[in-house]
Amino acid sequence: MNYMEQRITDSLKTNYMPYAMSVIISRAIPEIDGFKPSHRKLLYTMYKMGLLTGAKTKSANVVGQTMKLNPHGDGAIYETMVRLTRGNESLLHPLVDSKGNFGKVYSRDMAYAAARYTEVKLDPICQELFKNIDKDTVEFVDNYDGTLKEPTLLPVTFPSVLVNANQGIAVGMASNVASFNLGEVCDGEIAYLKDENCDITEYIEAPDFSTGGFLIYDKEQMKNVLETGRGSFKVRAKYTYDKKENLIEITEIPYSTAVEVIMDKIIEHIKAGKLKEIGDIRDETDKEGLKLTIELKRGTDPDALMLKLYKMTPLEDSFGCNFNILIDGKPEVMGVKTILEKWTEFRIGCIKRQTRYDISVKSEKLHLLNGLKKILLDIDKAIKIIRDTDDDGEVVPNLMKGFSIDETQAEFIAEIKLRNLNKKYIMNRLADIENLLKELDELNALLSDEKLIKKYMIDELTQIKKKHAKERKTILLKSDEVETFNAEEKIEDYNLKIYLTKQGYIKKIPLVSLRAGGEHKLKEGDKIQKEFDATNLGELLVFTDKCNVYKTKIYEIEDCKLSQMGEFLKSSLEMEKDEEVIDIFLAGDYKGHFVFAFENGKLAKIPLESYATKTNRKKLINAYSDGSKLIKILHITEDIDMVAYSNVGKILVFNTASVNAKTTRSSNGVQVMTLRKGATLKRISELERTRLKEPDYYRTKNIPAVGCFQKKDGEDDAGQIKMF
């Protein structure tokens, strides 16, 4: 078999790029009318089927007809329809009126019925999507096989791109447009039409979702989202408390999650013993709508529990905005005002095209009536010309000669029925000339004056708001007034002792329990490696041999007694199978430094604040350098004297002030002890913990230094370290 060599870049250009562009332009990203091609083809098919005013028809019928425009399988087309239906509740203003089971946007597992069982028609609001589409308001193109025409965009009379949520994942980019309240959007567009420099945030405050809930509103954060089209905000579930039954009923959840996801997370925490206040949880969603019921144990504060659930589960969830929209075939991420600007340009174009069409139609009608006016002078002559003409094909030319009219006018007169060739009929028709002239003057004025077009749009939007606007579903809660869960406020603080064993067990023993006495229970071959005082509200940093550090709150560790083995850190912190604990430290208020001593004689001094995180991360990778074997980690609150020992007997005393601090956790550090070939740093300790005599003999002011051999004259064991 012969293979032709081809550069990978050429292959990507010829094979992958066309696919990627097709996904971006023709599938995943919505356009300025608010629709992706799949939505537009489906809705236009339903419009042509007469489903705007007619009765509902089987969904399978619509799916089949849509295939004439959209060459996809029935499953994909039907799924597109499902999301647009009233029954699914995905949209603030559903575009498809539905009958039957279409699932729910807030349910992950509720399946929609097959297309043969459900019925649909267009919702009345769709009148605003197709208004005057037959007046050349938008471009039409051939469908995929050239047998039909379809619109490239719909001539929407309101900014539907902002009213209904839209999400899409393309190749190398994505789009996630939040939905906004129709009334607010109309007000914002009207304000923009009146003054392009207006502050849109005065009219459009924040997104509004079909699933309701509470949006935690931070003015600066939301302003950034509205101005840039990027950013995120949080939405909370809405609940009521039934005091009589002692249960919480959740009736609205964030748009970005599902009731089953919430239940799974709550059950997970219940099993882990983190939600002991909950007796039972069940999904009681029915025809009336969503209802997630949580039974409380006696004495539970429902509001405090909900604050805890907001923090621990998707009952409070983030919505990430990415207002990426196709403008003339190019994807652009835009703020709300820019979207309104682009939509205004599009809508003005639609109105101009519609006006030109109306001018053309009315001008043609006027032209015909002007011809009719001429035969009013002598109806008998017109009848005589027709009667005296021998050949049918000569009627029009003879009328043209007899009345000095053109072929179109003559053709129109020739087609008038004999019964209508009376003076009264003709006079009535001629009365329309004055009205047509007036209408044409108005249309020409509209076409030439953009101010009149904007007034026309304002009148349209005012009527749309009056007819279709609804109350906001998602209530705004100011962020500075929102109560949040603080675990430490709910947890008792007390003094305790922490013990770490060689094999990685941690014992958290309250001092009250410690006073009771007894012997440590340890695993066979295990021993206590470290012990220190702490409080229940402290935080631990757990270093491992994989250059990771795990952060854990002390209150998350179960209390134990001397007679218990304690908690196995490897399991509780979900470490890797071959990962082992090296040392643990109190984080405190993240003051001071960690000193990392490595076998190659280098020391890294890293501020504790480098391990502090704004988010509640449990694991930090690259916690220290892996350039050389780690010998020891020390925590210092101020610079101190330290003693370094090499494996060839050299001793070096230095002060940590000579080691510059590095903010990068994985820094290799600086050379402190100069080591000859084959020599390594064996251990390091604080000077005050050693019995080293005459430390100044081994001291250096400048690093790196080689150190000195131990003095022989009656020197105690320099390497002996005081026990603590």
Contact 136, 115 (CB under 8 A): no
Residue 147, exposed/middle/buried by CB under 10 A (0-12, 13-18, 19+)? exposed
- Report cis status (omega within 30 of 0) of the bond before 314: no
Contact status, residue 614 vs residue 626, Cβ threshold 8 Å? no
Buried b (16+ CB within 10 A) or exposed e, 217-235: bbeebbbbbbbebbbebbb
Contact present, 653 and 696 (Cβ < 8 Å):
yes
Question: 238 near 285, Cβ under 8 Å?
Answer: no
Integer angstrom CA distances of residue 405 from 375, 398, 399, 412, 415: 10, 10, 7, 11, 15
Q: Which 8-state DSSP code applies to residue 678?
A: T
- 117 included as an active-site residue: yes
CA gap 434, 263 in Å, rounded: 71
Distance between CA 445 and CA 434 in Å, rounded?
17
Q: Choose the catalytic residue: 19, 117, 494, 590.
A: 117
The Cα 588–Cα 507 span in angstroms is 19
Q: Rounded to an integer, what distance in angstroms lies between the CA atom of residue 190 and that of residue 187?
A: 5
Contact 619, 593 (CB under 8 A): no
Cβ burial of 643 (10 Å; 0-12, 13-18, 19+) is buried
Q: Are 133 and 122 in contact (CB under 8 A)?
A: no
Two structure tokens written together for 248: 């919480």
Q: Which two tokens stand for residue 68?
A: 């004439």
Alpha-carbon distance of 482 to 3, in angstroms, equals 66
Task: Please list the residues that pair with 316 across neighbouring strands.
Answer: 236
CA atoms within 13 A on the CB side of 224: 10
Name the residues annotated as catalytic. Answer: 117
